[in-house]
Amino acid sequence: MTVLDWLLDSDPAIRWQVMRDLVHAPAEIVAAERARAATEGWGARLLELQGEDGQWAGGACFPARSFNQCDENQGQPWISTLPTLQLLHDFGVEPCSDRVRRAVALVRDHCRVR
């Protein structure tokens, strides 16, 4: 298996970027693959983990549970809302997809930095 084959045999969040940047696939093929980032794989999983309050891990910038660097079992800062939204962006989820628009609306309506 080549490195390119390995990259293409991965999550849609990786695959669409490989198709665009390394394979130079036609734009419509890349767009179709990118659209899958919100409905399959890592992007879909992150969207599923959003709380009813619109937040991830119960916090805007930090998890609701306190972050203690000495305790591995405490919530990690990169699982809260802000870094999760950045990950979704980096994964290439389409901001105009219904699923992403609902997620962002929940953040807008309910997520506040205290």
pLDDT digits (tens, 9 = 90+) for 17-35: 999 999 999 999 999 999 9
Average pLDDT over residues 58-84: 74
Can you state the angle between helices 98-110 and 81-91, rounded to 10 degrees? 160
69: pLDDT strictly greater than 60: no
> What range does the domain containing 93 cover?
3-110
pLDDT, greater one: 71 or 53 = 53
Average pLDDT over residues 59-87: 76
75: pLDDT strictly greater than 80: no
43: pLDDT strictly greater than 60: yes
Quote the CA–CA distance of 95 and 52 in Å, as a whole number.
20
Q: Which residues contact 85 (CB under 8 A, 6 or more apart)?
A: 104, 107
State how many domains the chain has. 1
